[in-house]
Each structure stands twice: as structure tokens, then as C-alpha cells.
Amino acid sequence: MTQNTASKTAIVTGGASGIGLAIVEKFIQQNIKTIVIGRDEQKLKDVKDKFGELCITESYDLSNLEGIPALVERLAQEHGRLDILVNNAGINQKKPFVEVTDEEFQRINTTNVTAVFALSREVVKTMLPHGDGSIVNISSMASQYGIPKVISYTASKSAIEGMTRAMATELSPMGIRINCVAPGFIRTAMSATAMKSDPERMNRALSRTPMGDFGSPADVAEAVYFFASDGARYVTGTVLPVDGGNSIGF
Ligand code: NDP
């Protein structure tokens, strides 16, 4: 049973495109009021036009860490109790290891890790008084594999999984569950860029995927919804690959 999410409120970061957009669509279908955080005004307008009243958009660059406490405080004031947080926004960079600068490493990790930490911390503060909440982080199969020339992203996604487990041990006794979905190759703008920059590696990886194909954003959204819903009430601290079997080692 994965019901009982109607009348809940969720935040989905990066929810105006790719995997995030599919998560928003799934949540709206389940009558979850969904606050979409992103930077691109046009994409936010499009998502609002598409989903209407249940969808709230918030233009915010999550690399602006200082503003996150005020952002969450305002969202909680305007929309009431925050029940679900999906940390989906992420950025990638492909560059030879020795050419990656400190600034680039930090830029990727600020969005992919520090902002996830800061946003989760502020949302958890609002969840604690209710003793209830679900946080779903989006990592990547990159956390398990060494992928050449993807150092900053790989480090960030491994950090997300460690953070998921640490938060789950501390917060689950207070009713807040934290889980993680680790997508494999999913058809989005991000994977299209990877395919363009290194088609040989991508095709090699695809040939090692038992299901023999890329996944869709909707495949990831189904897993995220499960973790967000009461159907997962006894599930916390887990990392679920949604990767067509890629992580089995084919
Ligand atoms: P997209 O590039 O399509 O979407 C990323 C989203 O993140 C965009 O909506 C973007 O919003 C948002 N975002 C990025 N930086 C910021 C920021 N500083 N502040 C606010 N929003 C931001 O990527 P995907 O949908 O492919 O990826 C979604 C997640 O899934 C990522 O965490 C990614 O690492 C992970 N993933 C994806 C895989 C794939 O094959 N596609 C595989 C494994 C993991 P805006 O455009 O408004 O800036």
C-alpha cells in the first residue's frame, strides 16, 4: 500500500526538468501539494502551467547556502507542514582529474552535497515537532563505480549515500525516514550530455546493463514515491538502485 499521501506537502528540488519533473508529476497525480525549487524561470513557469494549483514554484539557486534557512521558514509559513523533501537537484562535470580546480570541485559539491545537507537540516527542524517526515535523496550509480573524469560528481554522490545512512540512524527514532534512490542511465538532458561527450563509454555501460536499455525519469519517480509514501513506513537508511540491473555486475 502506497497511499495516504493526499493532503501532504512536498518539496522537490530541480523539479522543473528531467527526473525531478517526473517526480513532480507523480506527486501531483497522488494529490500531494508540491513545491518545485529551481533556477530557470521559464522552466518553472512551464511546470506551473502544466500542473496548476497543486504545484507551487520557487525560484531559488540552492548554491546560495546562506538563504536556505529563511527560504524554508517562509515556505513553512506559507504552505504549512512540510511532509516530504526530495533532494533531486544536481550538477555534473566531466574533466580530467588533474585539471579539476578547487573551485570546480567545490561548486559541484556545494550544490550536490552542502545544499542537500543545509536544506535537509532546515526541513527536518520543521518536521521534528510533528514527529513525521520523509526525505528522499537522489544519488547515482556513480557512487558505486569509479567513473573516469567524473571526480567531483562521484565524490558528491558517495557523500549523499553516507549522509542518508547517518541521518537515518539519528532521525528515524524521531519519526523521520531518510532514503536514497540511485539511478543508473536515465534519459534526461544530463545523460544526453554524457552520451554526447563519451558515446563509447556510455554504450559500453549500456551493454553491461542486464535490462539492455536506459531507464525513464518515471521509473525513478515510482521509487521516490514509494519512499515518500506511508507504504515505506518501515524503510529507512536504504539506497535503492533504479538502474536496469547495472549495479549487479553483469
Ligand atoms: P537535469 O540536468 O535534467 O536536472 C537537474 C535539475 O537540477 C534542474 O532542474 C536544475 O534546475 C536543478 N538544479 C541544478 N542546480 C541547481 C541549483 N543550484 N539550484 C536549484 N536547482 C538546481 O538532471 P537529471 O534530471 O538527469 O538529474 C536529476 C538528479 O538525478 C541529479 O541529482 C542527478 O545527479 C541524478 N542522476 C541522474 C542520472 C541520469 O542518467 N540522468 C543518473 C544518476 C543520477 P535549473 O535548470 O532551474 O537550474
Query: For residue 34, what is the domain's CATH number?
Result: 3.40.50.720
Is 153 tagged catalytic?
yes
- Kindly give the distance from the C-alpha atom of residue 204 to the centroid of ligand 1, in angstroms, as a whole number: 23
Given 60, 145, 153, 234, the catalytic residue: 153
Predicted pLDDT of residue 26: 98
Q: Single out the residue of 182, 183, 165 nearest to residue 236, CA to CA.
A: 165
Segment 203-228 mean pLDDT: 94
Q: Is 249 a member of any domain?
A: no
Alpha-helical regions (H) of 15-97: 18-29, 41-51, 68-79
- The structural domain count of the chain equals 1
- CA angle (118 as vertex; 76, 83 as ends), nearest 5: 35
Is residue 32 in a domain? Answer: yes
Q: What is the pLDDT of residue 250?
A: 59
Crossing angle (nearest 10°) for helices 151-171 and 102-109 = 40
Residues in CB range of 58: below 8 A, 6 or more apart = 35, 36, 37, 38, 44, 71, 75
Give yes or no for residue 140 having a pLDDT over 50: yes
The binding-site residues of ligand 1, defined as CB within 6 angstroms of any ligand atom, are: 13-14, 16-20, 37-40, 43, 61-63, 88-91, 111, 138, 140, 183, 185-186, 188-191
In a domain, 3, yes or no: no
- Residue 190 in domain: yes
pLDDT at site 1: 45
Q: Do residues 243 and 183 lie in contact, with contact meaning Cβ atoms separated by under 8 Å? A: yes
ipTM of the complex: 0.99
pLDDT tens digits, one per residue of 1-24: 445 677 999 999 999 999 999 999
Tell me, what's the pLDDT at 29? 98
